[in-house]
Amino acid sequence: MKAAICPGSFDPITNGHLDIIERASHLFDKVVVGVFVNTVKTPLFSLEERVNFIKLAVKDNLKVSNVEVESFDSLLVDFAEKHGACAIIKGLRAVSDFEHEFQMAQFNQKLDPDVETIFMMASSQYAYLSSSAVKEIAKFGGCVKGLVPSDAEEGLRKFFKDRRRGCN
């Protein structure tokens, strides 16, 4: 069985992430979405919320049964080994993603040469999308409909509710 890991902070998951997860699920027998417990960054959403948004989005939006969601607070390659995964799947948007992703891929290759990093190009409709931009838009009352799955949209709305301008 070929398994792959889709790792990230997912604060929150976007429709761009979901697109990569779905496309990866067509290529592997099992895809584990790994939500990193990042002690350096302070996320907007708790780990539980981030995991829950992804689980709901996978259940409601993807017609696949081979995607699991789990948090991890270890090296990514160790999380991959725990799941018997042979690949780490990363989405690439613009050239600006490349340098950082290339560096992480090289570290991971050094840490475990048996786990291959595979880059998937973002679909064009999501090429501009990022969790940070979505949070900023929501913070200032902009509409994030269509950018994030509905439960994450609701979560953002609740978090920033006092300043909400709303969608047309």
Helices (H) then strands (E): counts for the chain: 6, 5
Q: Which amino acid is at 89?
A: I
Name which of residues 94 to 123 contact ligand PNS (CB under 6 A): 104, 107-108
Residues 71-90 that bind ligand PNS (CB under 6 A): 75-76
Instruction: Please say which residue, 113 or 166, places its beta carbon nearer to ligand PNS.
Output: 113
| Rounded least distance, CB 152 to ligand PNS, Å | 14
Q: What is the token pair recorded at 157?
A: 């709305």
Taking the least distance from each CB to ligand PNS, the nearer of 33 and 67 is 33
SS3 content of the chain, % helix, strand, coil (to 5): 45, 20, 35
Closer of 8 and 149 to ligand PNS (Cβ): 8
Give the integer Cα–Cα distance in Å for 65 and 152. Answer: 21
Q: Which residues bind ligand PNS (CB under 6 A)?
A: 7-9, 36, 75-76, 104, 107-108
